[in-house]
Amino acid sequence: MGIVARIGLVLLGIFIALGYRAYEQLSVTPRLPNNIEFFEYWGPEGGDPYGGSLEIVPFNVSYPLEVIERLRKQLHDAPSLTAPLEEAAFQYGFNSERLKEIVQYWRTDYLDRWDERQAYLNRFTHFKTKIQGLDIHFIRDRLESVRNPKRIVPLLLLHGWPGSVREFYDIIPMLSNRTSDKEYVFDVIVPSLPGYGWSEGSSKPGLSTSKVAVIMKNLMARLGYRSFYIQGGDWGAIIGNLMAILFEKDILGVHLNMCMGSGSPLTMGKMVLSSLAPSYFIEKQHIDFYHPTWPKIVELILEGGYLHLQATKPDTIGTALQNNPIGLAAYILEKFSTWTNPANRNLQDGGLEQHYSLDALLDNVMIYYLTDSITTSQRLYAESFSADELGKAYENIPTNVPAACAKFRHELFQYPDWILKEHFTNLMQSNHYNDGGHFAAMQLPEVLYKDIVQFVNRLYVR
């Protein structure tokens, strides 16, 4: 045997040994912490995690005229944008000609009606309370006329990035009002995640999704609820999943519109197996939600550049976007285009107004702009993809909390039910929808509402 062949065999042996060792480590089911730290402090230096006020105070969205006029001037004085390539739509990112149109609308029509938009943002009751050293903002909507506690169902709605509480404005009244399809009303609690919108960002490193899950549990306890339902997408789905894992006995049910399987080798192996013979594992009419796998991976790569930036250098990209309203709008609104439907890349207008009003989209951008929260919001990526957080691998722990998955056609990635059931061992509902994308609560609120009610009706005990 030649020297090259011998070296090759040695290297192969080393790779096999290392691969087996990695498999052993990844195959070990992670354990929950013996004692979850409920009082971990995230506020400014010198604060007391036990000394914070338990007070819940009303909050009003209110900005003086000079703030709005400063924004108008920024939009007016912005440097000229580079012209798009000939015949290019959104394939290279946000089309600058379309961006000019949106900026013009923002600077004139939208800001001319800012009092109206601000009143709309205040249509629900807003509050703030101090949790673990941070001011946490939330919306709460419930019918005070309902006195029977058995008829009141607490529901925590969790948004993601680059969304905000604004995503839920159409669905909130559907949930909180009396309707013929449910024997109860929801007490709807919609927090801004820490570092998003009007919720304060952490002053120290480490505020990852598992830590946010604890903050959200503490918020619900502050409001008098030990047990409650959760609904979420994007980060909200990940945090909701973690709450179902960490607080399994207290979560009544978890409804997600971005259900994720575990990251275990078994799950990855099942995904490969499923791609080889999908008809053996997935109902024929739903195969194209999951396969062919490679084009979906390519799509994730096309859309995933932001994730690498924000998971590694959130403050750098944050500096480029903060106090830069046009850049901020392009960065955020591009996601509402391509994450709603990747085919929107081929449309000159990005397809935005096929699904959303410009007022709704700009309301969401305004929340990031007015609160200077783009940098703090992006830090959640860096903290959640840190070696410390990934090493915990909580998402690999199965949960028996009743679960429901609403699967919309153009969601970024989907897991088949037979794989999800490895993690969600009590998966009670899984519905496929031939329309819709990543921002389901904002795009198709009626569809998402009916899916939530269908799930809760299965569990509701009068």
Average pLDDT over residues 306-312: 95
The residue among 411 and 9 whose pLDDT is bigger is 411
DSSP code string of 181-212: T-SSEEEEEEEPPTTSTTSPPPSSTT--HHHH
Least confident of 16-20, 210-214, 218-222, 376-380: 16-20
Mean pLDDT of the chain: 91
Question: Can you tell me the distance from the alpha carbon of 451 to that of 445, in angstroms, rounded to the nearest whole number?
Answer: 10
Residues 110-156: tens digit of each pLDDT: 999 999 999 999 999 999 999 999 999 999 999 988 888 889 999 99
Average pLDDT over residues 289-298: 84
**The predicted structure's pLDDT at residue 17:** 45
Least confident of 60-64, 221-225, 412-416: 412-416
* 110 included as an active-site residue: no
**The predicted structure's pLDDT at residue 50:** 66
Token pair for residue 177?
């009002």
Asked whether the predicted pLDDT for residue 219 surpasses 60, the reply is yes
Give me the catalytic one of 234, 363, 417, 451: 234
Give me the catalytic one of 356, 363, 438, 451: 438
**The predicted structure's pLDDT at residue 28:** 56
Query: pLDDT band at residue 281, thresholds of 50, 70 and 90?
Result: confident
Asked whether the predicted pLDDT for residue 86 surpasses 70, the reply is yes
Least confident of 19-23, 42-46, 58-62, 355-359: 19-23
**The predicted structure's pLDDT at residue 398:** 94
Query: pLDDT band at residue 296, thresholds of 50, 70 and 90?
Result: confident
Separation in Å, CA 213 to CA 15, 28, 421 = 38, 23, 22
Terminal-to-terminal C-alpha distance of the chain: 77
Residues 172-207: tens digit of each pLDDT: 999 999 999 999 999 999 999 999 999 999 999 999
**The predicted structure's pLDDT at residue 1:** 56
Burial class (CB in 10 A: 0-12, 13-18, 19+), 261: buried
**The predicted structure's pLDDT at residue 437:** 97
**The predicted structure's pLDDT at residue 412:** 92
DSSP code string of 385-412: TSHHHHHH-GGGS-B-S-EEEEEETT-S
* 438 included as an active-site residue: yes
Average pLDDT over residues 62-76: 97
Percent of the chain at pLDDT > 90 equals 74
Asked whether the predicted pLDDT for residue 297 surpasses 70, the reply is yes
Average pLDDT over residues 335-355: 96
Reported as type and span, the H/E element at residue 157 is: strand 152-158
Under DSSP, the state recorded for 30 is P
**The predicted structure's pLDDT at residue 5:** 52
Give me the catalytic one of 225, 369, 381, 415: 381
Average pLDDT over residues 42-57: 82
Reported as type and span, the H/E element at residue 452 is: helix 445-459
For the chain, list the domains and their CATH numbers: 126-264+395-461 (3.40.50.1820)
Asked whether the predicted pLDDT for residue 270 surpasses 80, the reply is no
- Give the residue ranges of DSSP H helices in 346-439: 352-355, 358-371, 374-384, 387-392, 417-423
- Nearby residues of 361 by Cβ (< 8 Å), 6 or more positions away: 333, 336, 352
Least confident of 168-182, 234-248, 285-299: 285-299
Question: Can you tell me the distance from the alpha carbon of 269 to that of 264, in angstroms, rounded to the nearest whole number?
Answer: 9
